[in-house]
Amino acid sequence: MSAPARRRRSAGFTLLELLVSMAIFAIVGTMALTGYTQLQKQSEYVDKRLARVREVQHAVQTMAQDLEQIEPRPIRQPVGDQRIPAVLAVNSVAYALEFTRAGWSNTAGLSRPTLQRLGYRLDQDGLWRDHWQVLDRTQATEPVRVKLLTGVRSVKFRFMTVSRDWSEIWPAATAGVNQAASAAATVDQARARPLAVEFVVVLEDWGEIRRVIEVPG
Return the CATH number at 176.
3.10.610.10
pLDDT at position 213, please?
97
Q: Quick check: bond before 171 cis, omega within 30?
A: yes
pLDDT at position 173, please?
67
Instruction: Output the furthest CA–CA distance in the chain (Å, rounded).
Output: 118
- Residue 97 domain boundaries: 60-214
DSSP class of 111: S
Q: pLDDT grade, residue 121 (50/70/90)?
A: very high
pLDDT at position 183, please?
46
pLDDT at position 3, please?
53
* Position 45 in a domain: no
pLDDT at position 10, please?
56
Rounded CA gap, 97 and 90, in Å?
8
pTM exceeding 0.85: no
Amino acid at 93: V
Average per-residue pLDDT in the chain? Answer: 84
Instruction: Please state which of the ranges 61-70, 164-173, 190-199 shows the lowest mean pLDDT.
Output: 164-173
Nearest of 90, 113, 95, 101 to residue 213 by alpha carbon: 101
* Position 86 in a domain: yes
pLDDT at position 35, please?
74
Query: Is pLDDT of 57 > 90?
Result: yes
Rounded CA gap, 172 and 196, in Å?
13
Residues of the chain with pLDDT > 90: what percent?
53
pLDDT at position 50, please?
94
Query: Is pLDDT of 104 > 90?
Result: no
Rounded CA gap, 89 and 148, in Å?
19
* Position 169 in a domain: yes
Instruction: Please state which of the ranges 87-96, 128-137, 141-150 shows the lowest mean pLDDT.
Output: 87-96
Query: Is pLDDT of 197 > 80?
Result: yes
For range 91-95, the mean pLDDT: 80
* Position 4 in a domain: no
Total structural domains within the chain = 1
Query: Is pLDDT of 31 > 90?
Result: no
Q: At 21, which helix (H) or strand (E)?
A: helix 15-68
Compute CA 14 distance to the chain's CA centroid, rounded to the nearest angstrom: 66
* Position 208 in a domain: yes
Q: pLDDT grade, residue 186 (50/70/90)?
A: confident
* Position 188 in a domain: yes
Residues of the chain with pLDDT > 70: what percent?
83
Rounded CA gap, 153 and 165, in Å?
26
Q: pLDDT grade, residue 110 (50/70/90)?
A: low
* Selected residue with higher pLDDT from 134 and 120: 120
* Position 15 in a domain: no
